Amino acid sequence: MRLTRAKSLIGLDIGTHSVKAVELTWSNGPVITGFGYAELPSPDAVPETVLDLLRDNEFHSRRVVTSVSGRSVIVRYLTMFKMSPDDLRNAIRYEADKYIPFDEDEVVLDCQPFEVEGVGNLGGNEMRVLLVACRRAVIDEQLRILAAAGLQPELVDVDVFALGNAFELAVGLDPEAGARVSALVDVGATKTCVNLMRAGVSLFTREIHTGGTAFTTAIAGRLSLAGGDAEALKRKPGDEYERVRQAVAPAVDDLASEVRLSFEYFENQFDLGIDEVLLSGGGSRLAGIEHDFARIFERPTMAWDPTGDFPIAAGSTDMELLNHHVPELAVAVGLASRIQRHR
């Protein structure tokens, strides 16, 4: 994955519920120089929503990093014999065949060897390799949307990796933290990204295909409400807090149990414990979810701020809107974090 040389870069996170854009400019550190947020009125409204967002907010660059996610993206952590990058590029085509249920000419493949000190049981002649495949049609569609919006694509990333990059940029490596393992859990509308990070390296990622939409569906079903009313009640339960909490409990439990399974798999596989769980994504704004997750995960569980303490130099930025949407900005910040860094 190549590093961009752009001085300012827009991270554009096209979710299934909302589109978020964060522009970063490097000046002794990341500075937020542009921001936009818009809910999607319908899944096919992406092109005009992106256009409106760019028109209504001030950005300095047209360079953009976007991401893919969902069932069209496959991420695998492989153990392979050590080999040169050229040999790996050839070998990975054969490896990919085993793991990827799409035709070779239907997918874009990328792979990267990575080293993790003191983790796993690698033989001396083995290396770990991250393999990512995405259906070509998904990337092509995204490139079409960017071209129509006059944007210049620098890179297409994956949501769950962007989440990890945002964490590195915003929280960085606390020397006191040592080899602490942080579990990043981003609850979106239709999916939840899990990224287990240690010393700046992502050791395990997973995407679970449920999120805030399932919470709304549970509330609508249990309380016999129309979708729009259930959504409104979910966000502002007011006096109905206890009823809403009960209605949503099975959906929250389902998601948390799935996430917990990943934690358990990871802890067995790597012989490492997870020290903390850090929540982001619009779905994580559900009232009481931190508390429920903490009970099920049996680990300290809290929200974190993916915008760190970055200065904000965006003259026209709606600060109230930005502050309101901080939990949803992890992926967009991670995408923009590919910016060139001047030291």
Ligand X SMILES: Nc1ncnc2c1ncn2[C@@H]1O[C@H](COP(=O)(O)OP(=O)(O)OP(=O)(O)O)[C@@H](O)[C@H]1O
154 binds ligand X (CB under 6 A): no
Label the pairing between strands 107-114 and 63-68: unpaired
Subset of residues 285 to 304 that bind ligand X, contact rule: CB under 6 A: 285-286
CA distance 70 to 245: 28
Of the pair 34, 334, the CB lying nearest Mg ion is at 334
At closest approach, how far in Å is the CB of 286 from ligand X? 4
At closest approach, how far in Å is the CB of 176 from ligand X? 30
Residue 17, contacted partner among ligand X, Mg ion, none, CB below 5-8 A by kind? ligand X
- Site pattern 162..201 for Mg ion (x: CB under 5 A): --------------------------x-------------
SS3 271: coil
Of the pair 54, 158, the CB lying nearest ligand X is at 158
Spatial CB neighbours of 340, under 8 Å, sequence gap ≥ 6: 3, 4, 5, 6, 7, 26
Among 164, 282, 306, 334, binds ligand X (CB under 6 A): 282
- Site pattern 14..53 for ligand X (x: CB under 6 A): -xxxx-----------------------------------
Question: What's the token pair of residue 21?
Answer: 């854009």
Spatial CB neighbours of 222, under 8 Å, sequence gap ≥ 6: 246, 247
CA distances from 270 to 118, 221, 223 (A): 10, 40, 43
At closest approach, how far in Å is the CB of 234 from ligand X? 5
Of the pair 196, 335, the CB lying nearest Mg ion is at 335
Q: Which stretch binds ligand X (CB under 6 A): 112-120, 206-214, 217-225, 267-275?
A: 206-214
189 binds ligand X (CB under 6 A): yes
Q: Which stretch binds ligand X (CB under 6 A): 11-19, 45-53, 81-89, 174-182?
A: 11-19
At closest approach, how far in Å is the CB of 182 from ligand X? 19
66 binds ligand X (CB under 6 A): no
Radius of gyration for the alpha carbons in the chain, expressed in angstroms and rounded: 20
CA distance 21 to 9: 10
DSSP H or E run through 130: strand 126-135
At closest approach, how far in Å is the CB of 280 from ligand X? 8
HSE (side-chain half, CA atoms, 13 Å) at 53: 28
Question: What's the token pair of residue 335?
Answer: 């995408």
CA distances from 123 to 64, 81, 95, 148, 267 (A): 40, 9, 19, 49, 20
CA distance 219 to 244: 6
At closest approach, how far in Å is the CB of 36 from Mg ion? 15
206 binds ligand X (CB under 6 A): no
Q: How many residues does the chain have?
A: 343
237 binds ligand X (CB under 6 A): no
CB atoms within 10 A of CB 101: 8
HSE (side-chain half, CA atoms, 13 Å) at 212: 24
Among 4, 190, 217, 269, binds ligand X (CB under 6 A): 190
Binding site for Mg ion (CB under 5 A): 15, 188
Binding site for ligand X (CB under 6 A): 15-18, 188-191, 211-213, 216, 231, 234-235, 281-283, 285-286, 328
